Amino acid sequence: MKITIIYDNYPFDSRLKTEWGFSCFIEGLEKTLLFDTGGNGEILISNMQKLGIDPQSIDAVFLSHEHWDHTGGLGDFLELNQKAVVYLLPSFPQNIKKSIENTDNKYIEIANPANLYEKVASTGELGTAIKEQSLAIETDKGLVIITGCAHPGIVQIIETAKNNFEQNVYLVLGGFHLGGYGDNELKKIIQQFRKLDVRKAGPCHCSGDRCRELFKEEYKDDFVEIGVGKVILVNGK
């Protein structure tokens, strides 16, 4: 399985544009999937092209939550891809659903934990004030969990995925929503990661600089530095 970071506010590949938001492309499974669409469609498509990713080749779009920095590129993407199924939450606003209905694409509402296709599943809708779903992918090394902003709480998301799929967690990557947290709070969360046996961590987007520094100190070689253009390979064995 190959995960390519297409959109993020942290740099990695100097050819690509950075901007507040998040999106990644997942391939090597039964279907190809775009996780979130960043905040700006022009940047999303430009970065895809520079990475050699054909928007028309993507089978599905997974939207973690309704915020603009995760859904802003959807319209531009759907102009180039009329076949992708969009997975979103029932709580999404009508204007986003209408924008999909006005295309040839279909959307599927996910409320509860659900398999999307082989080895790929949604945690279901989590949270109260800001509802969000995360992606859980089964690999031979354990679960790979991808989060958009982790508004419901990054630890709760991991616990939910572990309980739902009864696997150890190999990698958690994405927005952890810890930007305003102090060192003591961050260290407690990092220790919760350890107690949950999370092997690798890749915080980006809204995680915060200090969060990334402390995770890197703790996880050392198992810290995955995420930025736009980063490629993560998770081999079968």
pLDDT for 2-44, tens place per residue? 999 999 999 999 999 999 999 999 999 999 999 999 999 999 9
pLDDT digits (tens, 9 = 90+) for 174-187: 999 999 899 999 99
pLDDT at 235: 79
Mean pLDDT across the chain: 97
CA distances from 109 to 39, 46, 81, 87, 220 (A): 21, 29, 19, 6, 39
The count of C-alpha atoms lying within 13 angstroms of the C-alpha of 65, restricted to the half-sphere facing its C-beta, is 23
Q: Count of domains in the chain? A: 1
d(CA 210, CA 28): 33
Helices (H), 86-232: 94-101, 154-165, 183-195, 209-219
By percentage, how much of the chain surpasses pLDDT 90? 97
Nearest to 199 by CA among 141, 116, 160: 141
> Per-residue pLDDT averaged across 60-66, rounded?
98
- What's the pLDDT band for 166 if we cut at 50, 70, 90? confident
> Per-residue pLDDT averaged across 172-200, rounded?
97
The answer to whether 45 and 14 have CB atoms below 8 angstroms apart is no
> Per-residue pLDDT averaged across 155-164, rounded?
95
pLDDT at 236: 58
Domain that holds residue 74: 2-233
CATH code for position 196: 3.60.15.10
pLDDT digits (tens, 9 = 90+) for 68-123: 999 999 999 999 999 999 999 999 999 999 999 999 999 999 999 999 999 999 99
The model's pTM:
0.96
Residue 198 has pLDDT above 50, yes or no: yes
Question: Is the model more confident about 68 or about 166?
Answer: 68
